[in-house]
Structure 1
Amino acid sequence: MSRREEQQSQIFKKDQAQNINFQSCHLLNDLMKTNIGPFGSIKMLESEKGELKLTKSGGELIRQLTIIHPTALLIGRAANAQDKAFHDGVSSIICFISALLEQSEYKLSDRIHPRVLVKGLEKARDFVLKQLDELSIPLSDTRSDLCDYVNSSALTKSPMNVSNIVVDAIHCIKEEDKQIDMDRVEVFKIQSARESARLVKGLVLEMGFRHDLMAKKMEKVRILALNVSLELEDTVVKTIMPVSNADERERMTIAERKFVDNKIRSIIELRDAVGGDFLLVNGKGIDQPSLDMLAHANISALRRVSRKTLQRLVFACGCRVVNCVDDLFPAVLGYAEKVTEEEHNKVKYVFIDEVQSPKAVSIVLGGMNVANLDLTETAVKSGLRALQNADNDKKLLPGAGATEIALSIKLQEYKKTLEAKDRLGVEIFSEALLSIPRTLMKNSGLNPSEIIGEMLNEAETGELAGVDLETGEVMDPTVFGIYDNYCVKRGIFQSAPIVASQLLLVDEIIQSTKVKEAKKKSED
């Protein structure tokens, strides 16, 4: 590198580069590790507009944080990948990466080459991934066990118990031999006088009926999903129609209106054929004269509904989306036992509820405190994703730190079968695994130095050794219904050693002036 290039770039040599990597990783871990577990702390996020949000979700934090440091950015990308893939384990993967680097620091201070440590970490990772299958527990379909699976994830985000609602929602949308589609479950937050959470077996739409004469409460409702314009529209190409007198202009206007009215009459004829209450859900516009005709025919209507909502309506009530009024016949209609319009905090909502065998549902969360609603929403989504992951894996792992303790014991035994050089990386991996149960206990106000020893002694006998975070006693987590998702733990143990190995092998950090100028602009 020329002298001019050296002046324009800042170069950090080996020891300094490693110290920078270690420090930035530990700082990020100090921010994230306090979220781990049901007794983890809550973070307050303030947006650029001054809006405040409370969250315990590591995924939410890592998405909202603006990370500039290259090392922290590399770790943040791994955490983001974990969040996108499994929607869980974000704080844990950062904690584990930090623990791996912390244990590696002690070895590097003895002048051991990083490549030796990396080789041992790779062997430890491969061994751990094989051992996960032996520790796994088959998935049970009983309701009580499913509620335990949900609580194991959801209660780490919010103290509100939402397990029954989440299990009911999954039971509704689940189809045999198909993966669970989370787009069929929508979570609604409604500000109301009391805190509540309920499952609507159908849809909730954030809009009201578009005419005062339309019925606000209906029973045994036929539902028509339409994607047809029911209003006068401007032509796509600008045209000029010469008119000689006012009568011709009036006839032209009447003909245009008649074209739209004929569409409305087709809908009214269908309603008369089936009888009873009738709901029209249209993806396009409905003008005022059309609304008047529908209201006088006892048809309630919603207009300009999104395409996604129409698709969910098809799954919810069994209707078909009609694109032409010439194709109207009773078989295209859906059915719901009850449709109501409600108003909460000056916002109108339409509830399409009590659908028979719905394949799309809505979870409605109520409360006055917006911050609590955000926490509960995060808990519900975590519970839903936990059940989806469990259904995909068909197996789970014991929670409460039992998996990490068992793997640490197995690694200590595996270390004895290796050469001296490879043992170093395996030892680092084994000690780093204990960081997660230690963090769980610290966040619960317990003394990990005493309890970890008891857990290791129990695990050496072949028993599962988790920790009761309320009492500090060693227990079997499967007896208390505490589990971890198999895919989440596998993702952590697979990705974290790779990131840690990459950082260990960095011997220089070269920062160009362009990067420095960009950072100054972002700070300004």
Structure 2
Amino acid sequence: MKLLEIVHPAAKTLVDVSLAQDAEVGDGTTSVVILAGEFLKEAKPFIEDGVHPRNLIRAFRLASSLAVERVKALSVSLEGKSEQEKRELLKKCSMTTLNSKLVSGEKEFFSQMVVDAVCKLDPQTLDLKMIGIKKVTGGGLRDSFLVDGVAFKKTFSYAGFEQQPKSFKDPKILLLNIELELKAEKENAEVRLDDPAMYQSIVDAEWNIIYDKLDKCVASGASIVLSRLAIGDLATQYFADRNIFCAGRVEGADLDRVSKATGARVQTTVNNLDVGVLGTCAEFEERQVGAERYNLFSGCPQAKTATLVLRGGSEQFIDEADRSLHDAIMIVRRALKHAEVVPGGGAVEMALFIKAFAKALEVIPRQLCNNAGHDATDVLNMLRQKHAAPDGAGKNFGVDMNSGGVVDTFAAFVWEPSLVKINALQSATEAACLILSVDETVRNPKTKQKQLSYLTPNIGDDVAYTA
């Protein structure tokens, strides 16, 4: 959606509402666009019969609020479950999300990985930035793995790097935000000399400054030195001679995650370094992953972060896997924060009501049937029969994607966070109401296009809307 260049204002509204759904809950982006379009389709006959759009908007908003209340009533809370039970429930939610994605064949493998990654985060914030996703071309999907800590690609390194140790047990980690190379001093000042013999003393002073910095890094007791800025060839060789690993030009996001995972604090000076600013982890190693070298920090004592290393045969495939896992991660986060789920597979949409609104909601199970190659008419008839049961026994029935029939999706563990449904209903309703509230179309005076008919603009026409 982010790559589309949409000009048509009504279509742009639908794109924006899809992006808003992604930002808010992370999944249901297709559902919200389909629902908004179907709401407008159901509104069209009323418009043609002369019903004022304001009456339709009022009815839509009433239906939306009633539907949201009904979703809340149908939802089942996960509170009070044991840790193991909760993880299993989160895994089921993640698998439901991955069902429609490119990696659906490995949904169980990736769902477990996603749940493990999210559960390592700080339960108070569940900060998405603390989950790193690294992509390495080559291998199969099953070669993907989760690092209990931080992993990042080996940075640009100078001569002498080969002699540095590539693994440590319980290392002390120093994080810097300063350059450790000679040019930093060279370019910062202009020096005028009366006596050419003094030139050597200036050169010696520059070398003394850099050696003083390096000595202080070594004296701190650190066995790993990482910096956001460059670590030059002199420093690289200096650290290699003392069995210290170093990496310069580490990305800011990776450095922040190392800081939070290991407890190290980023320093802007090497003066007065003490043990309190150093971090630690159980193990550090530089490992070959496909054609790349990766630095892995695992067993971190304050592990509020995790890294997913994705493998795959092509760059495009891994990019799609990345987008799929992003949705699954967002769903698991939301399910943890708002611990209520509803049955999926179109079951909730069938259980909601108000005639035209409910008819529009049937587009979800219908689209699921079409995507799976089943007869939508037969399945919808079976669903209507189940949901019409007076005792409410069929309220959890949705589309069975495997057999082409219906199934109790709650019992089949096809679950979705209720927040996804609530946000999709509200966003789709607002998008439909926004387009309905446009009271006229205005032709762009620079073009000679004909006046557009109300609510049926042609894609590509250059129009401006006034509310």
The within-5 A match list for 1:12-31 is none
1 CA distance for matches of 2:37 and 2:447?
A: 26
In the alignment, is the contact (CA less than 8 A) between 2:138 and 2:314 conserved in 1? no
Aligned equivalent of 2:455: none
Q: For residues 163 and 299 of structure 1, what CA distance do their matches in structure 2 show?
A: 38
C-alpha distance after superposition, 1:469-489 (max 9, x if no partner): 111232221211111222221
Pick aligned residue for 2:130 from 178, 184, 187: 184
State the distance in 1 between where 2:431 and 2:409 align.
30
Aligned counterparts of 1:171 and 1:322: Cα–Cα separation in 2: 29
Residue of structure 2 in register with 1:297 after alignment:
242
Q: Find out whether 1:497 has 2:447 as its counterpart.
A: no
Matched, 1:330 2:282: no
Number of matched residues? 434
Q: CA shift at 1:330, angstroms?
A: 2.2
Q: Deviations over 1:64-120 (max 9, x none)?
A: 111112221222222222222222212111111111121122333434333332332
CA–CA distance in 1 between the matches of 2:257 and 2:276? 18
- Distance in 2 between residues matched to 1:307 and 1:431, nearest whole Å: 50
- For 2:304, what is the secondary structure of its paired residue? coil
Stretch deviating more after TM superposition (249-258 or 327-336): 327-336
Equivalents in 2 of 1:345, 1:150: separation in Å? 27
Instruction: Report Cα offsets for 1:148-199 as digits up to 9, x if no partner.
Output: 0111112322222201111111111133xx1310100011111233432211
Distance in 2, matches of 1:435 and 1:96, equals 7
1:145 counterpart residue number: 89
| 1:434 corresponds to which of 340, 362, 367 | 362
Q: Report the residue type matching 1:285 in the other structure.
A: A
- Give matches, 1:276-315, under 5 Å: 278-315=223-260
1:504 deviation in Å? Answer: 2.8
Aligned partner of residue 2 in structure 2, secondary structure: helix
2:69 aligns with one of 130, 139, 145: 130
Which sections of structure 1, spanning at least 5 residues, go unmatched? 1-61, 412-425
| Partner residue, 1:174 | 122
1:347 aligned partner, one-letter code: E
Normalising by the residue count of structure 1, what TM-score does the alignment of the two structures yield?
A: 0.78
Structure 2 CA distance, aligned partners of 1:302 and 1:214?
Answer: 11
Residue 49 of structure 2 aligns to a residue whose secondary structure is: coil
Q: Alpha carbon RMSD of aligned pairs, Å?
A: 2.3
Where does residue 396 of structure 1 map in the other structure? 341
The structure-2 alpha-carbon separation of the partners of 1:108 and 1:283, relative to structure 1 and needing over 3 Å to count, comes to closer
- Displacement after TM superposition at 1:346 (Å): 4.4
* 1-structure distance, mates of 2:111, 2:290: 27
Contact 1:398 1:483 in 2 (8 A): yes
- Please give the alpha-carbon distance, in whole angstroms, between the structure 1 residues aligned to 2:91 and 2:448: 51
Identity of aligned residues (%): 24
TM-score (norm 2): 0.87
CA contact (8 A) 1:200 1:361 kept: yes
Q: Distance in 1 between matches of 2:290 and 2:434?
A: 52
Which residues in structure 2 correspond to 1:406-417 (within 5 Å)?
Answer: 406-407=351-352, 411=353
Paired residues for 1:73-472 under 5 Å = 73-139=12-78, 140=81, 141=83, 142=85, 143-157=87-101, 158-159=103-104, 160-161=106-107, 162-175=110-123, 178-195=124-141, 196-208=143-155, 210=158, 211-232=161-182, 233-234=184-185, 238-246=189-197, 248-271=198-221, 278-344=223-289, 346-407=291-352, 411=353, 426-461=354-389, 462-463=392-393, 464-472=396-404
Query: Residue 294 of structure 1: SS of its match in structure 2?
Result: helix
Query: Letter of the aligned partner of 1:170 in structure 2?
Result: V
Task: Provide closer, same or farther for how the CA distance between residues 482 and 270 of structure 1 changes in structure 2, counting only shifts above 3 A.
Answer: same
Q: 1:220·1:336 contact (CA, 8 Å) conserved in 2?
A: yes
Structure 2 match to 1:63: 2
Q: What one-letter code is carried by the residue in structure 2 that aligns with 1:325?
A: V
